[in-house]
Structure 1
Amino acid sequence: MRSSKLIVAAALVSFATAGFAQTEPKVGVKSAPGQVTVTGTVKTTSTVVGIEPATRTVWLKNAHGKVVEVVVGEEARNFGQLKVGDVVNAEYSEAMTITLKKGGAPLGASETQSMERTPIGAKPGGTAGREVTILANVTAVNHQSGVVTLKGPQGNSVDMVVQDPAQLKLIKKGDQMEVLYTEAVAISVEPQAK
């Protein structure tokens, strides 16, 4: 069951991002002492201009006239409901929150996934999401360069640049950082307006 959800989520993500990057993403940054969150969202609208049922290929045209070819996997149900002229709306969002933790909690990583498809017989679409949480140790802090070195639960080290001097002053060797990463995609198909 888990691998089928991964496959469907991957199909939805590739369907949403293959050639849709023509819209300007909305990016936001929020900061509080010991925490920073970065978010980004891209919304797109395209029109189905061609369908090849035998290969499950769909041609989508964006508002700027660019046509993109997308192969829709077998996991995406209701393919037969697609019609030329249908409007495909896609929204992709990501967020990352990094929180400074004082203490000695055990290192760890976890991942959860979610997926929901439209009912059988409806236009294709659905949502897919993923949330990853990692707790890592701060093994070094270079106040001159702003580089903080983190050691993750599998023993790998990562250097992270902290650009805010006030945030950097809060971080000490031996602290921990919790990284929460989320991503989601939502796709809906609407019939051509009469």
Structure 2
Amino acid sequence: MVASLARTERMPLTEGAWVDVCRSWLPRADEVFETMVAQVPWRADKRQMYDRLVDVPRLLHTYMIGEELPHPVLTDAREALSEHYLPELGEPFRTAGCCWYRDGRDSVAWHGDTIGRGSTRDTMVAIVSVGDPRRLQLRPRGGGESISIEMGHGDLLVMGGSCQRTWEHAVPKVAHAGPRISVQFRPFNVF
């Protein structure tokens, strides 16, 4: 069973965006990490960038609606998040996108999850992090001062309100980092 979300701290941003953080929220984080490394069917992906095809700098897998998650603690986490955020979100979290950042060279560029309903409506993305700590950076879309939140082993971060439309987030490359996996729980039709 996951820990209570009562100790979650909310950080208001601008334009109706906010971020919730709950440190060391996920129980058995070591076991979850090891299970995910061994059992998730990780894939390397490529993306078009300008005039060439480039490797995505992390490994990926998405668990769609109805697919069993690789560890029961993750199922408990999704259910607890759905129950806690239902009054604000109005629906449960349904999918789980997984990213394996193998070392400091793996990253994700500035973006917002604006494919699907996130482009026009407030939504939420809940991120659980296991493994080595990494910084998640957030900045207002269109420019402005960025903020940095270190995601530690077992930490939870929830981006809500207008965050996906009015802010961007990234996990930058760093000189030294061990492996980290993030699990992003999303409602239906948010990417």
Pair in the same fold by TM > 0.5: no
TM-score, scaled to structure 1: 0.31
Greater percentage in helix: 2
The answer to which structure, 1 or 2, has the higher relative contact order (CA under 8 A, 6+ apart) is: 2
Decide which structure has greater strand share.
1
Output the TM-score relative to the length of structure 2: 0.31
| Rg larger for | 1
